[in-house]
Structure 1
């Protein structure tokens, strides 16, 4: 059996493995993710705490480096160790090979868990900061005051014109059930709606929503020309599917300066639609009569999507629960 360093409990193969990992780190290009992760893999193999791993992962999350890139770099560092172990294992005692393998598995577990947790925590913090900034800007746009200052502070581009969408989200079935944590069910519903908005409307769409509805502003200027965005009947169906309740909305469009006017009118018309018992769906403001209570030449019927996703709170529920 190949010997163990006296009093250290580390086999000579483990020592060679550690030196190999350190050499791999020294041989990489300076300053990139791969170099840093190889250094951290070597440090973790040497018994260093994962504080350096968490610090680096948090920094990469804030810089926008993808998590798969970070984990892939860590795994590549461990993979080089496995290749070295395989090449060096011929003719050696099985106990040493097992010890080296256990070391690499421990390193893989340490860096994966520590990096993933730190990255996700930092990413959530960045998302919360962006959401807070976006909500402040929406409030300014809805009031018509302080828009330029907030846009400069937040770094969010203000479009020259917007679709202004007033949303009503009725309670989910779980919010009515006795014994259910109703506020939690409502918050989960809201989070699903917010997540569902991102794909069809893009990152430049702004929203100010609560558990029972709110306002969405969708930019319609030239900056969105490459990927046209719009609240449509199909998009509203996606929101209804995410909320698992039928959503009702009014929509109008105009210059940014008209947002307060359009939002006020949209929510007023939305309230009249709900009081009048109109069916869920998307109602263009231009087609709505000011007095809603009965069909006026058919104009107060909602726009219809190509296929129905949710038409009634009593319909078969889709997917998960709130």
Structure 2
């Protein structure tokens, strides 16, 4: 550590700093965010004091508190501001004490407070990211389970309640084909990794134009997307349009093909099956990428008649609801 150590009977400026931070933590209101962050600063300072090498482990008090705050929805910037307030208290104390100390002692204490700030910031950011990733995984699993139920037509209401996702009365049903990215075909480029990256780009690109209630069940080759129709309004159009498909394709870095139709929620299994069947037929026929519309399906004549859909050109930007 920078600086000279005083004799055993004399407290170093670093030790005085830790004592001051401890005193300030005890003065703060109990269970207040500021109290907890100042207590965490003290723990980090005690852990780092008198160490010449960086500490690789993160204090459990910091990571545990940060994870709890993340679950409770407390903004990360609020937590970091509280830590910075505590660090400012330490710096003010060092300024007051500097006149009676030599330069090495002040440098050592200042170095300690910098390392403390680095430790609490890194630990808090890591805990927040870990917690948000866990929540995102849970939400994704719940959404995928719900879309599977919608596609099968069974257990929808129960799963929707468990997932906390409301089910719309009708949906835009989209069969989506995602071709292989050029990186997936290059030898030695890691095709599985390239496919996963492509899929993540598609999933991220879907979120903004289609809204948070849009559901998807996708692999790196494609799948089904369900967009609630009751989210569509004159102000905000939440639907898969040719323009939206083009944006998603740009994110995926490959041209996409989609077959789209509309229908009541109870008809999702039928509509999804027909859309996927037509999508496979279009690909087999070598049709160009783009958005294709499945014509309105009759409700009373069964699947035999419904298997003769009308497909619009990918350049047709007009999408209408089915009956």
TM range (shorter): 0.7 to 0.9
- Against the structure 1 CA distance between its residues 242 and 174, is the aligned structure 2 distance closer, same or farther, given a 3 Å change threshold? same
1:222 CA drift (Å): 5.7
Q: Which residue of 2 aligns with 1:158?
A: 167
Q: Which residue of 1 aligns with 2:321?
A: none
- Retained in 1: the 8 A contact 2:261–2:296? no
- The separation in 2 between residues aligned to 1:132 and 1:8, in whole angstroms, is 60
Q: Which residue of 2 aligns with 1:113?
A: 122
Q: Which residue of 1 aligns with 2:20?
A: 20
More divergent stretch after superposition (225-234 vs 188-197) = 225-234
1:58-207 matches, within 5 Å, as 58-207=67-216
Q: Which residue of 1 aligns with 2:64?
A: 55
- Against the structure 1 CA distance between its residues 215 and 9, is the aligned structure 2 distance closer, same or farther, given a 3 Å change threshold? farther
1:245 CA drift (Å): 0.3
1:284 CA drift (Å): 2.2
- Retained in 1: the 8 A contact 2:172–2:226? yes
1:6 CA drift (Å): 4.5
- Retained in 2: the 8 A contact 1:165–1:216? yes
Q: Which residue of 2 aligns with 1:301?
A: 313
- Deviation sequence 1:82-119 (CA, Å, 0-9, x none): 23323432353212211111111111121122222222
- The separation in 2 between residues aligned to 1:214 and 1:242, in whole angstroms, is 17
1:251 CA drift (Å): 1.5
SS of the residue 2:218 aligns to: strand
- The separation in 1 between residues aligned to 2:195 and 2:171, in whole angstroms, is 28
Q: Which residue of 2 aligns with 1:45?
A: 45
Instruction: Give the one of 211, 216, 239 matched to 1:230.
Output: 239
Q: Which residue of 1 aligns with 2:303?
A: none
1:4 CA drift (Å): 6.2
- The separation in 2 between residues aligned to 1:9 and 1:163, in whole angstroms, is 75
1:262 CA drift (Å): 1.6
- Retained in 1: the 8 A contact 2:274–2:307? no
- The separation in 2 between residues aligned to 1:26 and 1:224, in whole angstroms, is 54
- Retained in 2: the 8 A contact 1:281–1:304? no
Moved over 6 A (4+): 223-226
- Against the structure 1 CA distance between its residues 90 and 284, is the aligned structure 2 distance closer, same or farther, given a 3 Å change threshold? farther
Q: Which residue of 1 aligns with 2:249?
A: 240
- Against the structure 1 CA distance between its residues 304 and 14, is the aligned structure 2 distance closer, same or farther, given a 3 Å change threshold? farther
**Residue 278 in 1 paired to residue 287 in 2?**
yes
- Against the structure 1 CA distance between its residues 182 and 70, is the aligned structure 2 distance closer, same or farther, given a 3 Å change threshold? same
SS of the residue 1:90 aligns to: helix
More divergent stretch after superposition (71-80 vs 200-209) = 71-80
- The separation in 2 between residues aligned to 1:103 and 1:290, in whole angstroms, is 73
Q: Which residue of 2 aligns with 1:310?
A: none
- The separation in 1 between residues aligned to 2:16 and 2:162, in whole angstroms, is 53
- The separation in 2 between residues aligned to 1:32 and 1:250, in whole angstroms, is 54
- The separation in 2 between residues aligned to 1:9 and 1:125, in whole angstroms, is 48
- Retained in 1: the 8 A contact 2:231–2:238? no
1:225 CA drift (Å): 8.4
- The separation in 2 between residues aligned to 1:53 and 1:139, in whole angstroms, is 39
- Deviation sequence 1:287-307 (CA, Å, 0-9, x none): 899658xxx8xx5311467xx
- The separation in 2 between residues aligned to 1:116 and 1:9, in whole angstroms, is 37
- Against the structure 1 CA distance between its residues 59 and 229, is the aligned structure 2 distance closer, same or farther, given a 3 Å change threshold? same
- Against the structure 1 CA distance between its residues 244 and 5, is the aligned structure 2 distance closer, same or farther, given a 3 Å change threshold? same
- The separation in 2 between residues aligned to 1:225 and 1:240, in whole angstroms, is 25
- Retained in 1: the 8 A contact 2:172–2:227? yes
- Deviation sequence 1:112-149 (CA, Å, 0-9, x none): 22222222122212211111111111000000000011
